[in-house]
Amino acid sequence: MTPDTRAREFDAADPLGHFRARFRLPEGVIYLDGNSLGALPKATPGTLARVVESEWGDGLIRSWNDANWFDMAARVGAKIAPLIGARPNEVIACDSTSVNLFKLIAAALAMRPGRKAVLSEPGNFPTDLYMIAGLEAQGLAQRRLAPREQLAAALDGDVALLMLTHAHYKTGALHDMAALTRAAHDAGALVLWDLSHSTGALPVDLDAVGADFAVGCGYKYLCGGPGAPAFAFVAEQHQAELQQPLTGWFGHAAPFAFSDDYAGAAGIERLQCGTPPVLGLAALEVGVDLIAEIGVDRLYAKSQALSEFFLESLMAHDVALDLVSPPRAADRGSQLSFRHPQAYAICQALIARGVIGDFRAPDVLRLGFAPAYLSFADMAAAARHIAEVLASGEWQREEFNQRAAVT
């Protein structure tokens, strides 16, 4: 049986197949980059038009009350919470992932006086590592990196925080959240999980593993749009003592009392800083609502089936690529990454065929499988395109070897 035949059978039996129609996907495109920027929900333009024309245009300043803009950050956070095993009052949607990392790294350092080390792994997503640099220059933190198999051993009495990304951005490899959280706590450290490559595709259970902090991205599997607001999680038991340094007026207990002195809000609202980005939050809410409607468990099951079928399809075409993702579906996020010295040009040649994947420097072709809108037919077709690009050598064309600004 060919991959195409099998794909038709899988798609016919796919309980999530009809959700594809809820997204706008351009003709002729197989989109394997939803882990970088999620596709556009068809409901988003209408919602945004309403927020812009009716709430902003007609409601004007009154919409802070009348359209509940004031509560948007907490409301969207509460909707993200069940996707990551958190209580509604433990999550808020605000700022960027990077800014939220800063708040929580600094908060952890304040909770562990005498400890300065922030432990992570080399090759973690750059901004996670970079956000330690500013605190290091201020003399407040010390970055410590250890390869993942040596992380537990590196957890000594200097470590205030263990900060890791659950699903690795480049390889998709998963950390054992429960075991590492336990190890950190045993060493007296706190834990911050970056869920950017998990939320909306993989089940995560922050409260069950006893996580202290987490952050995540709104524009990948949550389909919130380019540069969407991010989210932050603080376990309920830490909220009362939480000191985060971005002490802006929207995190104040009474922002509109206009007092001169800062007093943080009682709950997760303390994590807010400036005025919330209403347009960005409105778009994010549409994506979160849709992903929540589909359901994380069903998304995860389909994600695993898609990537397994994609590997089968590559084999059926006799494509032998160097897989850098974990071979077992249970050990990886919703992606497959392959190492090839010409990964950049191959990625460009695929994009020219409408198969949009991602290049990750220096030599990785990364294919993301957003289960909300991809079909098994997409998998079969993508595998065929890869086989053809490799067999034909068309990636050697000059046009595919010129680097763009953002790759």
Window 99 to 118, contacts with a copy of itself (CB under 8 A): 99, 102, 106, 110
> Restricting to residues 164-183, which ones interact with a copy of itself according to CB under 8 A?
170
Residues 274-313 within binding reach of a copy of itself (CB under 8 A): 274-281, 283
Of 1, 12, 114, 122, the one binding a copy of itself (CB under 8 A) is 122
**Phi and psi torsions of 30, nearest 5°:** -110, 110
Residues contributing to the annotated binding site for pyridoxal 5'-phosphate: 97-98, 125-128, 165, 194, 197, 219, 249, 275
Cβ proximity to a copy of itself, 319 vs 356, nearer residue:
356
**Which CB atom, from 10 or from 358, has the smaller least distance to a copy of itself?**
358
Structure tokens of 361? Answer: 């420097």
| Residue environment code for 69-88, b if the CB has 16+ CB neighbours within 10 A, otherwise e | bbebbbbbbbbbbebbbbee
Asked if 327 and 310 touch (Cβ cutoff 8 Å), the reply is no
Taking CA atoms, 48 is separated from 29, 52, 59, 161, 283, in Å, by: 25, 6, 14, 39, 6
Q: 51-54: long-range contacts at Cβ-Cβ below 8 A with a sequence spacing of 24 or more?
A: 51/278, 51/279, 51/282, 52/279
Site for a copy of itself in 223-262 (CB under 8 A): 225-230, 243-250, 252, 255-262
Q: Tell me the binding residues.
A: 97-98, 125-128, 165, 194, 197, 219, 249, 275
| Active site annotation includes 366 | yes
Which one of the listed residues 103, 116, 353, 366 is annotated catalytic? Answer: 366
63 is a contact residue toward a copy of itself (CB under 8 A): yes
Give the Cβ contact number of residue 339 at 10 Å: 15
| DSSP class per residue in 67-134 | T-GGGHHHHHHHHHGGGGT--GGGEEE-S-HHHHHHHHHHHHHHHSTT--EEEE-TTS-HHHHHHHHH
Q: Which of residues 65-104 bind a copy of itself (CB under 8 A)?
A: 65, 69-70, 95-99, 102
Q: Identify which of residues 126 and 393 has a Cβ nearer to a copy of itself in the complex.
A: 126
Say if CB 313 and CB 380 are below 8 A apart. yes
The residue among 118 and 329 lying less far from a copy of itself, judged by its C-beta, is 118
Smallest distance, a copy of itself to C-beta of residue 170, A:
8
CA dihedral (215, 131, 263, 61) in degrees, to 10, reads -70
Specify the residue for token string 């800063």: 102
Tell me the two tokens of residue 239. Answer: 């909220």
- Left if phi > 0, otherwise alpha if psi is -120 to 50, otherwise beta: which for 168? beta
Q: Report 346-405 residues binding a copy of itself (CB under 8 A).
A: 351, 356, 358, 360-361, 404-405
Of 91, 93, 117, 135, which one interacts with a copy of itself (CB under 8 A)? 135
309 carries an active-site annotation: no
219 counts as catalytic: yes
Active-site residue, from 23, 125, 221, 338:
125
Q: Is 369 a catalytic residue?
A: no
Site for a copy of itself contains 37 (CB under 8 A):
yes
Q: Of the two residues 106 and 190, which places its CB atom closer to a copy of itself in the complex?
A: 106
User: Which residue in 220, 270, 302, 360 is the catalytic one?
Assistant: 220
